[in-house]
Chains A and B, each alone.
Chain A
Amino acid sequence: MDAAQALSDLTEISSQIEAAVVLDADGSALASTLDEQRAPEFTQVVQELLAAVRRASGSDSGELAQAEIATADGSVFLVRDEQRTIAATTGPEPTVGLVFYDLKSCLRSFAQEKPKPRTRKKKAEDDGAA
């Protein structure tokens, strides 16, 4: 499943999530629910936010797993795995556990990409050798 499809599924499943972006390990955006005008700015703010959370929590070694930044206007969620980070915004007082669950499921959908089918060439070679 590609990043855009995963985000499309995410916003369809979770009515609480208003916007989301998936970042690669180097911080570049893989996909976003926002239009082309707002997506770059949102991505930049999320990159800054991720760095600020790491500094503020003293997790420079990179063991940050997830975070919720709650304000009166809404919340920003960050969830990381080994290769990607997903960030999402919600309205005020969201169902925190449910949002984290949906974001983790979205990240897992990347990890469960099916590997490309192997060719049968090797088997044919083996048969020939036997």
Chain B
Amino acid sequence: MARRRVVTGIVLAAGSLAGTVAWRRRSARRRDRVDVYFEDGSMVSLTDGSAEASTVLPLARRALETTRT
């Protein structure tokens, strides 16, 4: 009985950990985006994974690295 409780606890802990990691990764991915505002007041948001954003985001990461090294 006690052994069963221990196994249940471990499974629950592992599940929580996996869920937390997955949630944090998803949140981090969602943060990566390019928001462009135009002079006429319009705006376009390019999300990570799109072809357009894939050319811009690596350059932004490089710019951040340059300022912090």
Task: List chain A positions with a Cβ less than 8 A from chain B.
Answer: 18-19, 34, 38, 41-42, 45-46, 48-49, 52-53, 55-57, 59, 63-76, 87, 89, 92-93
Q: Is B6 an interface residue (CB 8 A)?
A: no
Name B48's closest neighbour in chain A (CB-CB).
A71
User: Known contacts A45-B62, A53-B36, A56-B46; is A69 also within 8 Å of B67 by CB?
Assistant: no
Residues in chain B near residue A48, CB distance under 8 A? 59
Q: In this complex, which of A18, A19, A71 has the most chain B Cβ atoms within 10 angstroms of its Cβ?
A: A71
Residues in chain A near residue B55, CB distance under 8 A? 52, 55-56
Query: Please, how many angstroms separate the alpha-carbon atoms of A2 and B53 in the complex?
Result: 34
Within the complex, which residue of A38, A46, A53, A65 is in contact with B34, where a contact is CB–CB below 8 Å?
A53
User: Known contacts A49-B56, A57-B36, A65-B38; is A89 also within 8 Å of B31 by CB?
Assistant: no
Within the complex, which residue of B33, B38, B67 is in contact with A42, where a contact is CB–CB below 8 Å?
B67
Query: Please, how many angstroms separate the alpha-carbon atoms of A55 and B60 in the complex?
Result: 15
Q: In B29-51, which residues have CB < 8 Å from any A CB? A: 31-40, 44, 46
